[in-house]
């Protein structure tokens, strides 16, 4: 396993992060436990979840599943850098969502109970709350850090200017502020290159990438659909994405065949090789998927391969950060 510092902190996290969205939903409890054990065995120390994951059953059920796994002991909690999130609704009550000080603290305490732990390593804001002033948000986060319930604070799905506003407000309070931003980034969806990643790099904020394979679209989905083995890309949302990008994805898979590369490993290796990226979040359903992700750590594309990928999946506008992406 490879490790990197999380943003400007001294915390070392694995360059692969175990995403838990599938656990207990597209896996059984036993399969989920086995996957988490396998991940730790491979050196993955960063686990990502959210307070509302498992909403298909009830919000919080995924955290409870992870808590049951941690409760087995044998150093599981000590080996794990545990990240969860706050923002999404946990009930129909008006104050059981968003980033009010009340909800941040209440949600954190609920996550601690479900996870069966005394502290959360990384508490992430799952989305910006335009109704919550940063003074209120940081007051709540400072309280949780001072109480020892949270070690670091991160964001997810923020725009570049949100990162700047949040960090400037934290600096005024002499608070560490954001140490990570979790954003969608892959060959198909490259908007983060324009402002989010440049802003993160400027402020020393680590970038955690979700959906590095575009929900399975870049994992050999054309071949899987042809053979009837597609899972995520075979669902309604996946089929819509396939119809939009079929020609490009087919050309990508043909190119992978020509150079002897696995489509999923090359796409993940490309993400991991991008400047500013700390870790990529993978959501395996099987141990084989997890081992393939580990192989991607050494699958950084050569310059000629990267050039071909840019031709197949052009960056937004003229490429690069804003404003050059659209201006002279």
Choice among 53, 87, 185, 252 that is catalytic: 53
What tokens were used for 116? 């069966």
What tokens were used for 9? 């902190």
What tokens were used for 277? 């990226």
What tokens were used for 115? 């996870």
Phi, psi dihedrals of residue 304, rounded to the nearest 5° = -70, -30
Contact 306/270 with Cβ under 8 angstroms? yes
Tell me how far apart the alpha carbons of residues 170 and 269 are, in angstroms, rounded to a whole number.
34
| 53 belongs to the catalytic site | yes
Phi, psi dihedrals of residue 240, rounded to the nearest 5° = -65, -45
Catalytic residues: 53
């Amino acid at each position: 396993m490879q490790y990197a510092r999380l943003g400007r902190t001294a915390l070392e996290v694995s360059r692969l992060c175990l995403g838990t969205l599938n656990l207990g939903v597209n896996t059984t409890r036993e399969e989920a436990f086995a996957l988490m054990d396998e991940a730790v065995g491979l050196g993955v120390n960063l686990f990502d979840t959210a307070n509302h994951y498992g909403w298909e059953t009830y919000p919080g059920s995924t955290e409870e599943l992870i808590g049951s796994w941690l409760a087995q002991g044998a150093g599981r909690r000590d080996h794990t850098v545990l990240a969860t999130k706050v923002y999404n609704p946990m009930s129909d009550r008006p104050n059981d969502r968003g980033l009010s000080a009340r909800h941040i603290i209440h949600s954190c305490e609920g996550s601690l109970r479900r996870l069966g732990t005394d502290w959360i390593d990384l508490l992430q804001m799952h989305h910006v709350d335009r109704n919550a002033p940063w003074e209120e948000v940081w007051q709540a986060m400072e309280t949780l850090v001072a109480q020892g319930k949270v070690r670091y604070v991160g964001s997810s799905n923020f725009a570049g200017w949100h990162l700047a506003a949040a960090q400037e407000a934290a600096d005024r309070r002499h608070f560490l502020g954001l140490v990570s931003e979790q954003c969608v980034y892959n060959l198909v969806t490259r908007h983060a290159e324009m402002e989010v990643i440049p802003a993160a790099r400027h402020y020393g904020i680590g970038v955690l990438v979700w959906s590095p394979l575009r929900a399975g679209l870049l994992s050999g989905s054309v071949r899987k659909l042809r053979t009837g083995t597609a899972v995520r890309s075979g669902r309604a949302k996946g089929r819509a994405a396939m119809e939009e990008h079929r020609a490009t994805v087919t050309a990508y898979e043909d190119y992978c065949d020509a150079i002897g590369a696995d489509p999923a490993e090359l796409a993940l290796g490309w993400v991991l090789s991008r400047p500013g990226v700390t870790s990529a979040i993978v959501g395996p359903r099987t141990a084989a998927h997890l081992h393939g992700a580990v192989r991607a750590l050494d699958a950084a594309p050569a310059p000629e391969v990267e050039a071909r990928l840019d031709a197949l999946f052009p960056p937004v506008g003229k490429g690069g950060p804003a404003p050059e992406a659209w201006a002279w």
